[in-house]
Structure 1
Amino acid sequence: MITAPDRDLTHTQALLQVPVGGLDSAPRQNIESGIPGVRLNPSLMRHEISDAALAEETLRTGSAAWQVVVLLAKGELRAASELVAETRLSDPQDFAMRVLDTSLTRASGDAPRAINRLRALLREFKDTEHEAILQQHLGFAYVESGDLLAAANRFRKALDLRTAAGADAHLVESSRACLASVLEHTGAGSAQPAHQHPGQ
């Protein structure tokens, strides 16, 4: 059985990053998401099912947040929306589900509304352990909206925060790979963190 609390920061940070669109860049190696059966495709900037059997096991036994990620990776928006609504009914302030709710908004094709909601969350959680995931999700939402410069700024901030915090390697790599994908299209800079932190 998969055991991971919804509120565990590592898994909260590893939550859905699935815009409907994405950049048509050179293929990059998919990255572990921290969720069994699901990997991040940094070329399309979305999660995809990498192991159908593991993904089905996650749907049966994983946390509600993991289940939502799997459902969205499968394109089952209605089922994902229902699970988010049910979970938030019992705990409206659950951070993971609040982020996933904005991901549903983005996956439904309303990037501007997702951006507004993520910016509101960022004001609430600025300078906390949750800021990196919000910066990352803003990066995806800005890609979806077509504002690649804003997206690059957000991915770079997420990369800096994750590097400074010594986050799991797959989280750092997801920010780095998505930043590289955006920079490839803007012709700007490198995907290295703006501020290196020794030993992290």
Structure 2
Amino acid sequence: MSTATHMDLTHTEALLQVPEGGLASAPRQNIESGIPGVRLNPTLMRHEIFDAELAEEVLRTGAPSSQVVVLLAKGELRAASELVAETRFIDPQNFAMRVLDTSLTRAAGDAPRAVNRLRALLTEFKDTEHESILQQHLGFAYVESGDVLAAANRFRKALDLRTAADADAHLIESSRACLESVLEHTAKTAGSADAPHPAAVNAAAQHPAPATAAIALQPPAAG
């Protein structure tokens, strides 16, 4: 690592500096999400079910926001969308549901639109206790949009905010692990600017572009 000070670095170089504490030397493990039965996969930037029984218990008795995360992890987008809509009908300004609504947009294959919606929310909640989660989710959306440098910027901001606020350990670790994932990808694909991050590859695989059907030529009408 360079001995240059942060002020000596260009913006891009600063983004790509290894975070304090270094990079993980062992294969990165999924991270506790704070929701029973669900962990964050920091390589694919998605929540995954690791204990089906615990996850089902959350669906029966958990808070609506936790239920939405479980449904997203299971790929049940329609049920997740209905629960978000029902909750926001009662409480339109529910912050958790507004963020999860952007997760639905991303899960449906429209990461650029999720970026725009999250940036609007960030304008509303800048410098509040909610900023770190918006920065984290912007990181997810930028990765899937293919802009890894913007993602690095957002994950680093989320990490800094969560560390400064002494947030729960799993929140700090999720920001650190996602930042490290982006940095490792950037290092491995140096010189290949178009190489997509695994999270972007996975997102694209969930929503393949429809095949373009050949248009059958019709014979001219008789007469």
Dislocated runs of 4+, deviation >2 Å: none
2:153 counterpart residue number: 153
Report the AA paired with residue 59 of structure 2.
Answer: L
Provide the rounded CA distance (Å) in 2 between the counterparts of 1:185 and 1:44.
12
- 1:77-110 deviation digits (Å, cap 9, x = unpaired): 0000000000000010000000000000000001
2:48 counterpart residue number: 48
Q: How does 1:25-174 map to 2 (within 5 A)?
A: 27-174=27-174
Provide the rounded CA distance (Å) in 2 between the counterparts of 1:153 and 1:185.
14
Provide the rounded CA distance (Å) in 1 between the counterparts of 2:163 and 2:151.
18
Tell me the secondary structure at the aligned position of residue 85 of structure 2. helix
Higher relative contact order (CA 8 A, sep 6+): 1
Provide the rounded CA distance (Å) in 2 between the counterparts of 1:112 and 1:142.
8
Percent of aligned pairs sharing the same letter = 88
Shift of 1:161: 0.2
**RMSD across aligned positions (CA):** 1.2
- In the comparison of the two structures, how many residue pairs are matched? 163
Provide the rounded CA distance (Å) in 2 between the counterparts of 1:89 and 1:81.
12
Shift of 1:52: 0.3
1:27–1:43 contact (8 Å) kept in structure 2: no
Provide the rounded CA distance (Å) in 2 between the counterparts of 1:77 and 1:83.
10
Shift of 1:27: 4.8
Tell me the secondary structure at the aligned position of residue 109 of structure 1. coil
- Specify every segment of 5 or more residues in structure 2 that has no aligned partner in the other structure, as ranges: 1-25, 191-223
Provide the rounded CA distance (Å) in 1 between the counterparts of 2:44 and 2:137.
14
1:15 counterpart residue number: none
Provide the rounded CA distance (Å) in 2 between the counterparts of 1:159 and 1:91.
29
Provide the rounded CA distance (Å) in 2 between the counterparts of 1:47 and 1:70.
8
Provide the rounded CA distance (Å) in 2 between the counterparts of 1:72 and 1:82.
12
Report the AA paired with residue 93 of structure 1.
Answer: Q
TM-score (norm 1): 0.80
| Structure (1 or 2) with the larger CA radius of gyration | 2
Tell me the secondary structure at the aligned position of residue 29 of structure 2. coil
TM-score (norm 2): 0.72
Shift of 1:29: 0.5
Tell me the secondary structure at the aligned position of residue 36 of structure 2. coil
Report the AA paired with residue 169 of structure 2.
Answer: A
Shift of 1:43: 1.4
1:155–1:178 contact (8 Å) kept in structure 2: yes
1:176 counterpart residue number: 176
1:163–1:172 contact (8 Å) kept in structure 2: yes
Provide the rounded CA distance (Å) in 2 between the counterparts of 1:182 and 1:105.
22
- Specify every segment of 5 or more residues in structure 1 that has no aligned partner in the other structure, as ranges: 1-25, 189-200
Tell me the secondary structure at the aligned position of residue 185 of structure 1. helix
Shift of 1:126: 0.2
